[in-house]
Amino acid sequence: MTSDLRHFLREATAEHHHQLDSQPALRRLMQPGLTLADYGHTLACLGAAFRHVEAIVAKSPLPENTAVPTYLPRHPAISRDLTILQPPLTPEPDLPAPPSATTPFTTLGIRYVIDGSSQGSVHILRKLNNNLPELTAIGAQHYWHVQEKAGQDWPGLCEALRQDCTESQRQQALNGACWAFTCFTTAFERLATA
């Protein structure tokens, strides 16, 4: 088993990642025929998950001597976009409670997931601009611009994830990553028919 935490997390969370990427509302972002209503629903799901996960990240430290760029919150940008889009109100989904013992390595695992989400943002935004040009016209792309900016910090997080760590620390990071993936997947599943 590799000692590189990034590779460990990528391999250990592959099924979680696939489950999230397979959510119909996320897949719809890349397809022609996307409507503003569909987009608003997807953004509401993302907003619920980011709000929940970012509350933990905001109060949880990272491992000492870990040079990770400061986290750029996504929820405020999503809220701005939702204010512009004004989609129908959705119920607040009941999302999983955070791991019982949130450690600095748990937080690093969470950051792996939420910062990793920025990596496809340029491609997704390009597709959105083609499939839903109204977004640009109404100025409802704040989330994607924050994601694009956050993507520039990904190499710094990857460098922090190259550190060696104990088996316990690896499991803590995995617990955080699995929890974050589960929060996003759960938000989409629970709001799928809302």
Q: What is the mean pLDDT of each run of 10 residues along the chain (194 residues)?
A: 80 96 92 92 96 95 87 97 90 90 94 94 90 91 95 91 90 97 96 70
Tell me if the pTM is above 0.75.
yes
The answer to whether the CB of 62 falls within 8 A of the CB of 104 is yes
Quick one: pLDDT at residue 193?
62
Q: Measure the CA–CA gap between 79 and 167, rounded to whole angstroms.
A: 38
Closest to 122 measured CA to CA, from 155, 145, 153 = 145
Distance CA 45, CA 41 (A): 6
166: amino acid identity, one letter:
T
Separation between Cα atoms, residue 173 and residue 49, nearest integer Å: 19
Q: Domains, the chain, ranges and CATH?
A: 5-190 (1.20.910.10)
DSSP the chain: --S-HHHHHHHHTHHHHHHHHT-HHHHHTTSTT--HHHHHHHHHHHHHHHHHHHHHHHH-PPPTT---PPP--SHHHHHHHHHHH-PPP-PPP-PPPPPSS--HHHHHHHHHHHHHGGGGHHHHHHHHHHH-THHHHHT--HHHHHHHHHHTTHHHHHHHTTS---HHHHHHHHHHHHHHHHHHHHHHHHTTT-
pLDDT value of position 1: 41
What pLDDT shows up at residue 3? 62
Q: Residue 96's pLDDT is what? A: 95
Residue 167 dihedral angles phi and psi, to the nearest 5°? -60, -40
Tokens describing residue 141: 């792309």
**Four-CA torsion 15, 19, 22, 26, nearest 10 degrees:** -130
